[in-house]
Amino acid sequence: MRSSKYSIFTYASMIGVPALLMLILIAMISGYEMYINLFAYVLVIALLVFSTTGLIDVFLHKKYDGSMKKAHVESEIKSNTEPMLKKGSEVDIIVKRFNGSSHNFDKVTYKFFANKFTTVLDALLGIKSHQDSTLAVRCNCRMGICGSCGMVINGRPRLACETNIMEIADSEGGRIEISPMMGHLLLKDTVTEFTDFFERHKSVKPSLYRKNAKEKYSTTKEYQQSSEELDKFLPYSYCIMCGLCLDACPVVNSNPNFIGPQALSQSFRYYRDSRDQKGKRRLFEVDSNEGVWGCEFSGSCSKACPKGVDPATAIQLMKGELISRIAEKDDYAEKK
């Protein structure tokens, strides 16, 4: 328990001064001049003593309070972090390693001490630094922005830098099993090849199309957009090209010609952008079995997406738009 912040003098002054004033008042009313003088002297002396001790008290209290605050914050930090660190434990991390020469994986189990904050990427980098330097891991931003650390963790495609070990160890049976994304070509261990993924992405021409191409490079012109117009495509522009949706898609894995959820969601993103002048041609370009009609709406792409892009919905909306434009489609085919 903390002791009282002021000394006894300060508290005494709170009672003593009003009491003396009362006595002076009573003496005045009763006509005792001698007592009035006596009380007045005592009052002046008491005021001097109390105000001096009060000032010292306040000064001391400020100093005391400042140092106490610091000590209090330090002890709070200590008591908050120590149990967290103590909560950590050794976790078995099983990595299905691809050695580059065959599709036979070597299952290697590493032991790693993880605490409350450890991500799968931290663990893999820790293992690479201190246990096995031959383990291949790809990463860059370590904060869910660059999209380069996608892998399959406990059977689900996820970003390693955004997957907390203790959380999945608690909820998914205490083990961490890591393998590369099988929807992409494998390079080594957890690292996959992305050339095919970027080709799919490029096939939908994911950039603003303007009839007058030169104006895009003008330094004085700007395209204005209302917030309602922005809202129409904004969620689809959050794609970080991590490839997790492609890996999760059962259709891509059985029909490699299907361009996949990432490319289609980006086609939709530009179709919805009021600054883009390609209009419905974007729709007709994906009006095929390799395009939107290849999607069987399993929804696993949207479930896997770490940025909430929701490619499954984008594809269904494109299907709806195409159905409502069947007549225009014939015109487009003729002009083509």
How many residues of this chain bind ligand FES (CB under 6 A)?
12
**Should residue 120 be labelled a site residue for ligand SF4 when binding is judged by CB under 6 A?**
no
Q: Judged by CB under 6 A, which of 179, 190, 262, 300 binds ligand SF4?
A: 262
Parallel, antiparallel, or unpaired for β 150-153 and 176-179? antiparallel
* Residue 161: contacted member of ligand SF4, ligand FES, none (CB under 5 to 8 Å, by partner type): ligand FES
* Residue 125: contacted member of ligand FES, ligand SF4, none (CB under 5 to 8 Å, by partner type): none
**Should residue 304 be labelled a site residue for ligand SF4 when binding is judged by CB under 6 A?**
yes
**Should residue 147 be labelled a site residue for ligand FES when binding is judged by CB under 6 A?**
yes
Helix runs in the chain, H state only = 8-30, 33-87, 120-130, 165-171, 195-203, 227-231, 244-248, 250-254, 261-271, 281-285, 300-304, 311-323, 326-335
Q: Which stretch binds ligand FES (CB under 6 A): 49-57, 89-97, 145-153, 226-234?
A: 145-153
| Contacts to ligand SF4 from residues 39-78, by CB under 6 A | none
CA atoms of 41 and 38, how far apart (whole Å): 5
Q: Judged by CB under 6 A, which of 38, 108, 145, 208 binds ligand FES?
A: 145
| 192-207: burial string, b at 16+ Cβ within 10 Å, e else | bebebbeebbebbbbe
**Should residue 251 be labelled a site residue for ligand SF4 when binding is judged by CB under 6 A?**
no
* Residue 245: contacted member of ligand SF4, ligand FES, none (CB under 5 to 8 Å, by partner type): ligand SF4
Residue 219 CB contacts under 8 Å (≥ 6 apart), including other chains: none
CA atoms of 234 and 289, how far apart (whole Å): 27
Instruction: Specify the 3-state DSSP secondary structure of 95.
Output: strand
Closer of 24 and 245 to ligand SF4 (Cβ): 245
| Contacts to ligand SF4 from residues 264-303, by CB under 6 A | 265
| Contacts to ligand FES from residues 160-189, by CB under 6 A | 161
Angle among Cα 280, 285, 287 to the nearest 5 degrees reads 95
* Residue 312: contacted member of ligand FES, ligand SF4, none (CB under 5 to 8 Å, by partner type): none
Count of CB atoms within 10 A of residue 287's CB? 19
**Should residue 244 be labelled a site residue for ligand SF4 when binding is judged by CB under 6 A?**
yes
**Should residue 149 be labelled a site residue for ligand SF4 when binding is judged by CB under 6 A?**
no
Q: Judged by CB under 6 A, which of 151, 305, 312, 315 binds ligand SF4?
A: 305
Q: Which stretch binds ligand FES (CB under 6 A): 133-141, 220-228, 255-263, 279-287?
A: 133-141
**Should residue 126 be labelled a site residue for ligand FES when binding is judged by CB under 6 A?**
no
The strand pairing partners of 98, in sequence order, are 105
Instruction: Specify the 3-state DSSP secondary structure of 222.
Output: coil
Nearest to 164 by CA among 204, 202, 223, 117: 117
Q: Judged by CB under 6 A, which of 37, 140, 207, 277 binds ligand FES?
A: 140
* Residue 307: contacted member of ligand FES, ligand SF4, none (CB under 5 to 8 Å, by partner type): ligand SF4
Instruction: Give the residues lining the site for ligand SF4 (CB under 6 A).
Output: 239-245, 262, 265, 304-305, 307, 309, 311
Instruction: Give the residues lining the site for ligand FES (CB under 6 A).
Output: 139-142, 144-149, 159, 161
